[in-house]
Amino acid sequence: MIFGYIDPGTGFTVASASGALLAFLLGALSTCVVFFKKIFNFLKRNKGWATIIFIGIVIVVIFGVVVMQKSSSTFDKKVIVIGFDALSPKIMEPMMAHGKLKNFARLKAQGGYSRLATTNPPESPVAWSAFSTGKNSGKNGIFDFITRDAKDYSLSLSLSNTEGGVAKPVIKAKRFWQYTSEKKIPTVILGCPVTFPPDQVYGKMLSGMGVPDVLGTEGTFSFYTSLPDENLDTTGGKVFFVKKSHLMISDFWGPRVKEINGSVKNVQVPFKMTFPTTGTVEIEYQKKKVVLREGQWSDWQEIVFDLGLFRKSRAIFKFFVVATEPHLKLYVSPFNIDPRDPFFPITHPAEFAKTLSEEIGLFHTQGMPFDTWSLNEKRLDEKVFLQQVDDVLQEREKMLAVELKKFKKGVFSFYFEDPDIIQHMFWRYIDSQHPLYEANAPAEYKNIIYDWYEKMDVILGKVMVQLGPEDTLLVLSDHGFDTYRRTVHVNSWLREQGLLELKDAGALMGEPLLKDIDWTKTKAYAIGFGSIYINEKGRESQGIVDSVKKAQIKDQIAKGLKSWVDAKFNEHVVNKVYFSENVYSGPYTVKQGPDLVVGFNIGYGASWQTALGAVPAELIEDNLRKWSGTHLFDPLLVDGVLFSNRPIVKKTPSIMDLSPTILHVVGFSDEEIKSFDFDGQPLF
């Protein structure tokens, strides 16, 4: 998981002019009061006019209701789309053959099943964007988790964007729910990735992957410890040292705000900890008190961060007490946006978030709710991490049950990320060649991936009973999955090939965010999980490669990568290298898209350092993170799956076929669908 701060400071610079703003607001309010007072007095003196106006309002309201009813769609069936992230045919097909996954097998027998071609690269934001738009990255603008600005080589997440403190859409193409909403077909979209901020659909939307925590990151945990030699270096969170005593005092770190003088700071909320009994900690903050035992998760807790100028950011979070003796170890989950009063919009209509929390209880609003880094960095163990994953699943199942019960007609889409996360973190238990494989690991962990496939099968069974004979059900995964044994430093390879230079030619390594690269001598660089860019004249601000040399360098890189053999296992690192012009088409291809995409062989993947533009000393090394499985391979090697209760006519379906298929089922004509310039086609 990569972190990109959404700096709310631009939204708070107005605090420096608070006096003028307050005067303006008071003046506007007094003007409104005077205006409405005059109208009220006029109507009070002229009761005949008051009666006429009242009758007119009633007529307008009735006319509006009639017009809305007439303009609503006549489509009266259900189209239900369930997305299970990362279900792999390599696992599903053998399980079905052995009598497992009975609901998936039943759905296959009712209608059809096929492997589903994924996107290039096979990343969740790229694939689900193609799912929702029916278009390739060149038309929708999402190429990778990480994107770069060619003007200054700065990096950011592709999942979300804010300008002036306001969340802005990142996808640059219409999505199927916008088409259905225009025709007033009831539309419910819950949790689909890359939907922050939510679209104004004709129905309901809950934003998914891309919703930040209140810090503006994709999930930053906090860890408080009194162990003096505890490693304070961390990628996924903030670690705070607190001196051991009977009374321990520290701070929660909240959103960053920009002050009047231009400086930026984190809002802090003080808290104190005492230890009433052995193995117990009492935590007090903001007139709240919670008592927890060692090894215990808390319920949802509430916190308010004061941002100034009458603005507050309300959040919810959970504690887990790892240990109290001999040293304190306290985990604090990322601060999720409170759905009852969200600082950023996370649902449409806006009140839907609050209504949902009233019906199912508080829930994770962060778009990536699973704290994988806390497990990667050994702040939490597998058992505790699984408790968190189970909590999220229970929330999602409640949400699905409540909303599916209300759903009568139209389009309903629901997304589960759980299988993806379980496979990322537990693949090391089923691959005997993985460097972290444990032959004597608990059976619970060795079987957990298969167990979670069965959990998804149970969920599918509950959905299937909601279908009528003429309703349509589509079930898909965005890509498959496999093992991740060796981590590859692409920028280091480019440096070895003489295509990338550091400012200090003798340095062993270069820092993340492309900081140490000498652009006057660099011809190519890598970011993200397989994206390579040529440092091109006229596109990159310090580009040095002309169009003729660009073609030659691309050929050189492709040939070099395809011939790269890992000496440790005598295996090819890369299966295929793709040129952008052969993968993408559309207005965003040249300026935003990578020039080459690396299709790794199974077992190999771009390193976290590569993703962030670092240049390590090594070229390739063992993957020693618990994040041991992945899908970031050549897309030809990691198909997804597609099930339907209707026969699938197309022989080689693609994830881009889902949008035109949904529109076809709800009644859009062939001519309309053709005019939308989809890259996919209807499956039926």
357-374 confidence digits (pLDDT tens): 999 999 999 999 999 999
Reduced to 3 states (helix: H, G, I; strand: E, B; else coil), residue 332 is strand
10-19, 421-430, 617-626, range with the lowest pLDDT:
10-19
Across the range 381-399, mean pLDDT stands at 98
Burial of 30 (C-beta count, 10 Å sphere; 0-12/13-18/19+): exposed
Split at pLDDT 50, 70, 90, the class of 390 is very high
Residue 121 pLDDT exceeds 80? yes
Rounded Cα distance, 374 and 75, in Å: 47
Encode pLDDT of 284-305 as tens digits.
999 999 999 999 999 999 999 9
Place of tokens 């506007």: 28
Q: pLDDT grade, residue 231 (50/70/90)?
A: confident
Is the predicted pLDDT of residue 70 greater than 60, yes or no? Answer: no
Helix or strand or coil: residue 190? Answer: strand
pTM score, whole prediction:
0.90
Task: Report the pLDDT value the prediction gives residue 38, as an integer from 0 to 100.
Answer: 54
Find out whether the peptide bond into 660 is cis, omega within 30 degrees of 0. Answer: no
- The answer to whether the bond into 198 is cis (omega within 30° of 0) is no
Tens-digit pLDDT profile for residues 401-448 = 999 999 999 999 999 999 999 999 999 999 999 999 999 999 999 999
Q: Check residue 49 and give its pLDDT.
A: 62
My answer on whether omega of the bond before 197 falls inside 30° of 0, hence cis, is yes
455: exposed, middle or buried (C-beta count within 10 Å: 0-12, 13-18, 19+)? middle
Alpha-carbon span 311 to 659, nearest angstrom: 40
Q: CB–CB of 598/513 below 8 Å?
A: no
Banded pLDDT at 595 (limits 50, 70, 90)? very high
Tracing tokens 């989950």 back to the chain, one arrives at: 333
pLDDT band at 48 (very low <50, low <70, confident <90, very high): low
Number of H helices, E strands in the chain: 21, 33
How much is the mean pLDDT over the chain?
91
Please report the sign of the dihedral spanned by the C-alpha atoms of residue 129, residue 134, residue 136, residue 137: negative
Structure confidence at residue 310 (pLDDT): 85
Buried b / exposed e across 504-539, counting CB within 10 Å, b at 16+? eeeeebbebebebbebeebbbbbbbbbbbbbbbeeb
Looking at the predicted structure, is the pLDDT value of residue 26 above 70? no
Work out whether strand 203-206 and strand 187-190 pair parallel, antiparallel, or are unpaired. Answer: parallel
Query: Measured between alpha carbons, how far is 373 from 628 in angstroms, rounded to an integer?
Result: 12
Residue at 182: amino acid letter:
E
pLDDT recorded at residue 583: 97
- Taking the C-alpha atoms of residue 680 and residue 345, their distance in angstroms, rounded to an integer, is 31
Handedness of CA 428, 211, 222, 359 (dihedral sign): negative
438: Cα separation from own chain's centroid: 31
* Contacts of the segment 16-19: beta carbons below 8 A, 24+ positions apart: 16/259, 16/260, 18/309
β-pairing verdict for 347-348 and 603-606: unpaired
Reply yes or no on whether the pLDDT at 8 is more than 60.
no
What's the pLDDT score for residue 584? Answer: 98
Tokens of 301: 């807790």
Do the Cβ atoms of 497 and 551 come closer than 8 Å? no
Q: Which range is least confidently modeled, 58-67, 148-157, 317-326, 341-350? A: 58-67
Q: How sure is the predictor about 597, in pLDDT bands with cuts at 50, 70 and 90?
A: very high
Residue 47 has pLDDT above 80, yes or no: no
CATH number of 485-630: 3.30.1360
Closest CA to 382 of 417, 319, 424: 424
Asked if the model's pLDDT at residue 487 lies above 60, the reply is yes
Query: Taking the domains of the chain in order of start, what are their residue ranges?
Result: 485-630
pLDDT tens-digit map of 645-679 = 999 999 999 999 999 999 999 999 999 999 999 99
Distance CA 356, CA 351 (A): 9
Instruction: In whole angstroms, give the CA distance from residue 360 to residue 393.
Output: 13
Q: How many residues are listed for the chain in this entry?
A: 684
Is pLDDT larger for residue 49 or for residue 349? Answer: 349
Nearest to 515 by CA among 619, 618, 615, 592: 615
CA dist 441 and 449 (Å) reads 14
From the list 683, 505, 615, 583, the residue with the least C-alpha distance to 131 is: 683
For the beta carbon of residue 340, count every other beta carbon within 10 angstroms: 16
- Residue % of the chain over a pLDDT of 70: 89
Residue 475 and residue 468: Cα distance in Å, rounded? 16
User: Based on the number of CB atoms within 10 Å of its own CB, is 48 exposed (0-12), middle (13-18) or buried (19 or more)?
Assistant: exposed
Range in 41-50, 236-245, 592-601 the model is least confident about:
41-50
Note if the bond before 121 is cis, omega within 30 degrees. Answer: yes
Residue 655, Cβ density class (10 Å: 0-12 exposed, 13-18 middle, ≥19 buried): buried
Q: Facing residues of 114 across strands?
A: 642
- Amino acid 13: pLDDT: 26
